[in-house]
Structure 1
């Protein structure tokens, strides 16, 4: 998912400017407290972007309404549609297959040669990590909600290449640990680290639904990652298995 910000970064370096933002409809202007769902006001640009993603993913989702989907404009989709497509993609696939679908979708949305261009523009340096962290805040807003750049330590060096997502919209809307890990965290880490050559580690907090992204930090293996050992969020996940110590979608 997060590689879309990289596409925007490439466009910025080419002289094209713009941003993709959505507004929180809560009176406080902040995400709703844990246990309550945050309300958003999505504009036309955000709806188009959600629709673009949903249509790309839907060919993997086993939908029986292909003709109906083709007739809909990109602006006819909303965030819930995007999440529902993600859920359909999960069905009948193991974790590796789910992650591969996201990788294919991300590659299909980038122009030819984009990974190579990204590697040239953003070699794995402190500057590149901090620059991508700064880009994440405006360009990820539609996908994960509000976030802010924070200082982190990477290989003993303090740098502002961290991003704290206050309350992840994707996790909040799906309520699924497996979707968070298999459809966002792991494929995004892998895409940045292996396709773009810029290491990225994402640390979701399933208690308050926040998430920390650390550019420049090599992610742990699947087996050593605490996020892969999480139980279902039984109170909010419609497909949860409360009796399982680990979310079934995280198991092979």
Structure 2
């Protein structure tokens, strides 16, 4: 696990987190199949070698989300997938079908229900007892994020951040988010990942979390212990579509239409 030096978290820019890093090692590799071992450049999809662990999580999430997904298009053959028939592309496809016909708030509620369905009864209350909103809890959850969510977001590393005037190693830097680069959709990033994940940790678990996607290079900063900004002040809601790579993008619109639904 790698630790970097990070300056104060700021929300002044809609696309880039203002930070200063000092490298002390390499990124966690996360089964990347690229010759360089690093995520592919912007505009290209990174190749991954997913193993047993990764496919198990893809299947678990996809099966839970399939219950809320719109049916496949007419004429498309449907065959119920087995436990290891899901890959990352099919997981993203299920996510896209969950978005169909739902407002922004409804999409976020589906993700919340899916996350709750994966927990045993009373888990959020137990989490609050085990992990009150302290520096230690924030740092511990940041450390867990790196190995357990690499299948979803790609390689990441723990970074030092400043929260409420105190430096702590409760930040996670995602070098190039796998979910965003495979969906190519700003709205999916915000409605199906950022906002519901922030809300889940902040409101269900009682541990504040802020996620700051960078739509210029598809990286993302997760800051445990940092309360997210109010929805109306979050700069992601002024973000335009990825006009060249999103199948539902509207290049003439200054804001991604899926953020306004």
**What is the TM-score of this pair, normalised by structure 2?**
0.86
2:8: which partner in 1? Answer: none
Match of 2:85 among 68, 76, 82: 76
The answer to whether the Cα contact below 8 Å between 1:49 and 1:74 also exists between their aligned partners in 2 is no
1:170: which partner in 2? Answer: 179
| Structure 2 gap ranges (5+) | 1-28
More helix by share: 1
TM-aligned CA deviation for residue 32 of structure 1: 0.8
Match of 2:242 among 230, 233, 238: 233
| Structure 1 gap ranges (5+) | 1-20
Q: Aligned partners of 1:75, 1:44: CA distance in 2, in Å?
A: 8
Match of 1:30 among 27, 38, 44: 38
SS for the counterpart of 1:127 is helix
TM-superposition CA deviations, 1:198-225 (whole Å, max 9, x none)? 0000000000000000000000111100
TM-superposition CA deviations, 1:159-183 (whole Å, max 9, x none)? 1100000000000000000000000
Q: Would you say how many aligned residue pairs link Structure 1 and Structure 2? A: 230
TM-aligned CA deviation for residue 44 of structure 1: 1.9
Q: Aligned partners of 2:162, 2:155: CA distance in 1, in Å?
A: 22
SS for the counterpart of 1:203 is strand
TM-aligned CA deviation for residue 66 of structure 1: 10
Q: Aligned partners of 1:66, 1:90: CA distance in 2, in Å?
A: 21
- Given the alignment of the two structures, is residue 144 of structure 1 paired with residue 186 of structure 2, yes or no? no
- Given the alignment of the two structures, is residue 244 of structure 1 paired with residue 221 of structure 2, yes or no? no
The answer to whether the Cα contact below 8 Å between 1:83 and 1:173 also exists between their aligned partners in 2 is yes
Match of 2:143 among 106, 109, 134: 134
The 4+ residue runs of structure 1 with deviation greater than 3 A are 64-67
Q: CA RMSD in A?
A: 1.4
